[in-house]
Amino acid sequence: MNQRTVLPFVNPATGEHFGRLEATTLAEAEAVVREMHAAFPAWSRKPIAERVAILREFQRALIDARDEISAVITQDTGKPRQDALIEVFVTVDMLNDTCRHAAAWLGRERVSQGLYLFKRCYVERRPYGVVAVITPWNYPLAMCVPPMIAALLAGNTVVLKPSEVTAATGALVERLFKRVPALAPYVRVVHGDGSVGAAVVNAPPDYIFLTGATSTGRKIMRAAAEHVTPITCELGGKDAMIVLADADVTAAAEWGVWGAFFNAGQTCMSVERVYVATSVYDDFVAGAVAAAERLQVGHDLSTEAPYQVGPLTSPAQLEVVERHVADAVARGARVVAGGRRTGMFYAPTVLVDVTHEMLVMREETFGPVMPVMRVASEAEAIRLANDSPYGLSASVWSRDVAHAEAVARQLHTGSAII
């Protein structure tokens, strides 16, 4: 089907419709990939130094537009204006870092010749061609621009498919790239739902970079396999936080609450389950409840707004949060902070008396919920943390770095924060 649909811009905090755009048709999405294939030779032939200089122009465009960007993100996601500005800062910092190291990372590297004693051997990095970047709604700038920049610096052209949930930010990113005439011919943005993303994947591109839900990853990996297209996925998480008996409990409670409720818990590396040693459990729960109840929930477009927690961005995600909390309570958990919904807002929630049979300990919640579980030993904490199909990240709290590292090494995660 190539029927034209419309994507509305809706502020989840207020329900206000503040704009719209026409979605890309499936035929147009396929044509965009072909266009970027045609543009690839010209971009890939440019020296790295020239590509860096062009991307530095884009960096300046981002900085100049910081107020415009943060205002759109706040309207599009409902998150506090300060959090939207953090997205801008993180994006600019990552762009700066990638530009600074691009020449070294992409340069020719001499490697061992092995048994070829009279030969010299090198590795050269070559661009794939067209990179499709498919991005989520929770950080519609910070999860979108950095992979595009990395692909472009390496000499690839890019097709971006931003989330239709935050279509206004996707449209803004498209406008920002168009503000750099030397870069604009090598980037295209397609707008729409999963069918548009599928059209891009099946066009096909030469590489796919996906950040999104695990269910989306499965679908795209199956489609990519049909064309043997290489793919990198960053999917869901159920990050475990372990608080050891020798931890600074006050700091663990304060920063654990930050990790659980920043961006209303809509972060793949949010603290989603907490295991606390029995000897410090009561103090930790008291500290976490106090910290959670100090957070102000609300929405205001002003940069001076006092709110730390905004709404859930997606109605579907709010349903998940409510289902997980209801399931936990039905199975014996107690709500000791929060647990209340007002429109699209869900109060920062702390649960105790949780067990591993509950959905809130098994499935990704992706919302402002912190379930806390008492553990009798370090070994039990490690076992429970590893009892999950997810393995994105985790955190370990201890005053003894060597002790924390010894625990972290036993966790089956891609990263561990001490």
pLDDT band at 4 (very low <50, low <70, confident <90, very high): confident
**Partners of 372 in beta bridges:** 274
- 49-68 mean pLDDT: 98
pLDDT tens per residue across span 170-225? 999 999 999 999 999 999 999 999 999 999 999 999 999 999 999 999 999 999 99
SS3 category, 364 = coil
Q: What is the pLDDT at residue 3? A: 58
In whole angstroms, what is the distance from residue 207 CA to residue 310 CA? 35
Annotated catalytic residue, options 234, 254, 293, 380 = 234
Please provide the average confidence, as pLDDT, over all residues in the chain: 97
Pick from 27, 71, 86: nearest CA to 258: 86
Q: Say if residues 165 and 313 touch (Cβ distance below 8 Å).
A: yes
Annotated catalytic residue, options 268, 272, 363, 378 = 268
Give yes or no for residue 94 having a pLDDT over 70.
yes
Give yes or no for residue 296 having a pLDDT over 50.
yes
Give yes or no for residue 100 having a pLDDT over 60.
yes
- 371-399 mean pLDDT: 97
Neighbouring residues of 36: CB distance < 8 A, sequence distance ≥ 6: 130, 157, 158, 159, 186, 188, 205
Quote the distance between the C-alpha of residue 211 and its chain's center. 6
Known catalytic membership, residue 99: no
Q: What is the pLDDT at residue 283? A: 98
Give yes or no for residue 388 having a pLDDT over 70.
yes
- 71-91 mean pLDDT: 97
Give percent of the chain above pLDDT 70.
99
Known catalytic membership, residue 363: no
Give yes or no for residue 304 having a pLDDT over 90.
no
Q: Give the number of other Cβ atoms within 10 Å of residue 89's Cβ.
A: 14
Q: What is the pLDDT at residue 1? A: 45
Give yes or no for residue 2 having a pLDDT over 80.
no
pLDDT tens per residue across span 335-373? 999 999 999 999 999 999 999 999 999 999 999 999 999
The full DSSP string for 276-289 is EEHHHHHHHHHHHH
Q: 282-298 burial, b if ≥16 CB within 10 A, otherwise e?
A: ebbbebbbebbeebebb
Query: Tokens standing for 405?
Result: 């590292």
pLDDT band at 23 (very low <50, low <70, confident <90, very high): very high
pLDDT tens per residue across span 251-285? 999 999 999 999 999 999 999 999 999 999 999 99
Pick from 62, 226, 46: nearest CA to 148: 62
Helix axes 48-64, 81-106, angle to 10 degrees: 170
